[in-house]
A and B are shown apart, each in its own frame.
Chain A
Amino acid sequence: DSGVTQTPKHLITATGQRVTLRCSPRSGDLSVYWYQQSLDQGLQFLIQYYNGEERAKGNILERFSAQQFPDLHSELNLSSLELGDSALYFCASSKGTAYGYTFGSGTRLTVV
């Protein structure tokens, strides 16, 4: 157990729908990062939050949004889902820097 908890582990939904992925960071970590791993792809950085504030943005589509709540858990919202959004979505946490990065076990999203 890495200490980073992601729910749900699996999600199957239809095109056009909206889903929310949840991440609870490791205790004491202030920063949460979201990554997407599509088939045959490396992990692509989506977005970073630090203590409730957005700090860095990567290749995140406008249909996707995220937030970090006062208790430091984070949610990634994916809307108007397309078949190409099917992927593994990983959350990671750290105290704020790249040191001590820890990943969760991911949410596998399948859009049908």
Chain B
Amino acid sequence: DQQVKQNSPSLSVQEGRISILNCDYTNSMFDYFLWYKKYPAEGPTFLISISSIKDKNEDGRFTVFLNKSAKHLSLHIVPSQPGDSAVYFCAVVLNAGGTSYGKLTFGQGTILTVHP
């Protein structure tokens, strides 16, 4: 039972263009959503997050959009840079503020390659 799905295993984008990574989830009770970036041989690094009370959060070149009715999350990177090439994981949380439910449920990841 996959609660979080990233249906695109990979995405290739030209430098300077927009990268859009998508994520779908099944449980409408999830209340916090995150994106992580992972380079080989390193742990996941937090990128950006959004609470279920919002539909958009922006941080520099990164914007996360949340569509609760569609149970869909997306990450936009504009403009894309070669250094953005990495695996991107979306993650969801139930009861984010509780100390017993801080676990993250991850998608399978999308490999982003940004070509110069």
CA distance A4 to B44 in the complex (A): 12
Cβ-defined partner of A56 (8 Å) among B36, B103, B109: B103
Distance in angstroms from A42 CB to nearest chain B CB is 4
A83 within 8 A of B: no
Q: How far is the CB of B86 from chain A (nearest CB, A)?
A: 14
Cα A31 to Cα B107 in complex, Å, equals 22
How many residue-residue contacts, CB under 8 A, span A and B? 78
Query: How many chain A residues touch the partner (CB < 8 A)?
Result: 29
Closest to B91 in A: A43
Main secondary structure of the interface of B (DSSP, over half): loop
CA distance A55 to B99 in the complex (A): 8
Q: Are the C-beta atoms of A98 and B107 separated by less than 8 Å?
A: no
Contact A43 B106 (CB under 8 A): yes
Contact between chains at A101 and B108 (CB < 8 Å):
no
Give residues of chain B (77-116) contacting chain A, Cβ–Cβ below 8 Å: 89, 93, 96-109
Give CA–CA (A22, B26) in the complex, Å. 34
| Choice from A35, A42, A55 contacting B100 with Cβ under 8 Å | A55
Say whether A98 contacts B45, CB under 8 Å: no
Please indicate the chain B residues that have their CB under 8 angstroms from the CB of A92 in the complex: 43, 104
Which of A12-20, A74-82, A102-110 is found at the contact surface with chain B?
A: A102-110
The chain B residues found within 8 Å of chain A, CB to CB, are: 4, 32, 34, 36, 41-46, 89, 93, 96-109
Binding site for B on A (CB under 8 A): 2, 4, 31, 33, 35, 40-45, 48, 50, 55-56, 58, 90, 92, 94, 96-99, 101-106
